[in-house]
Amino acid sequence: MAKRIESLAFSLLQEVESAPPLVQKAMAESVISPFNHIRALNTSEAQKLIQTILNCHVEVQVKASRLFIYFAEFRKFSYQKWQWKVPGYYDDLSSFDNKSFKDQLEKLVLSGHENLKKQLACEFYVLPKNEKPEDFNKNFEISLKYLNLATHQYQNEVFKDIYHFINDNIEAKFEECFDLWKTCLEVERQFFKKHEKQVLQMYWWPNYNNGDILLFLKENNKEDDFLEWLLFLSEYPLGLNIANNLYELAEQLLSFSKKEKKQVEIIFDNLIKRNTSILELKEKWEKQNN
């Protein structure tokens, strides 16, 4: 019976593959849904499935995003002690070669359709928290690997999910998330500077939790990092909302001494251009350090 259902699912997918694009789009969820429950595929069958999906409309690929991840990162470790088999039926599941699936997933993350890249980023964002707690570390590392790849080119919807991932995990995995955040900012700022004339249309795009991450640095005695990355953000084109708590961030500068005078002064001046009320804090800091 299971093989019969599997055969019907493949037949439907192949029919959709040859249908016009609008039909493929309309049928995307229906045609992919059965395969979310058909995981007992050998390497050859899985390759056939993935290639057929890639031949279809991008909406079909988007609906199949979890399948791309499953066959690349999880299928290899399934069915290792599979007992429900007879000759010719499910007796070839224990050995699974996932290399081509990993390569394909990396390619999709790097150069797939923007809608697919957006969905994959969303899947990686939720992966560590959607599984069993004991699987957190393994799934975090999987997500981190692919989200790092996804930073190679700025795409607002992708970066939004990367920032959600960072915000959710930075306390448990500080070094990894901090490095990912820095990479995002470097790519992001370059994009904004290149498109500075369109800033007013993108004012809300930067991560609204940048300020929380900076405060986290300051509260955990990482003052040098706090100054470096507050300065970095303060040099974004004017008009962009670089953080939702600029005044609070500026208040943190009051704890720095003359030793950091040049850097602090530049940050104050940059922040004042964004929020004039910060001028009073700069004057207070100057009196403290006369």
What is the structure's pLDDT at 84? 54
Q: What is the pLDDT of residue 11?
A: 74
How far apart CA 69 and CA 50 sit, in angstroms, is: 11
Using the structure block, give the residue that is written with the tokens 């797939």: 112
Tens digit of pLDDT for each residue in 200-230? 788 888 888 899 999 999 999 999 999 999 9
Out of 14-18, 157-161, 279-283, which region has the weakest mean confidence (pLDDT)?
A: 14-18
Residue 80 confidence (pLDDT): 61
Q: What is the 3-class SS of 3-36, one letter each residue?
A: HHHHHHHHHHHHHHHCCCHHHHHHHHHHHHHHHH
Using a pLDDT cut of 70, give the percent of the chain over it.
Answer: 90
State residue 91's pLDDT score.
Answer: 47
Q: Which uninterrupted H or E stretch holds 149?
A: helix 136-150
**How much is the pLDDT for 149?**
98
Is-contact 279 269, C-beta < 8 A? no
The model's pTM is 0.89
Q: What is the pLDDT of residues 105-135, one digit of tens each?
A: 999 999 999 999 999 999 999 999 876 788 9
Could you read off the pLDDT of 219-277 as tens digits, one per residue? 999 999 999 999 999 999 998 999 999 999 999 999 998 888 899 999 999 999 999 99
pLDDT for residue 172 is more than 60? yes
- In the predicted structure, residue 12 carries a pLDDT above the cut 70: no
Q: pLDDT tens digit string along 42-72?
A: 888 889 889 989 998 999 999 999 999 999 9
Report the Cα–Cα distance between both ends of the chain, in Å, rounded: 83
In degrees rounded to 5, what are phi and psi of residue 140? -60, -45
* Residue 191 predicted with pLDDT over 70: yes
Average pLDDT, the chain: 88
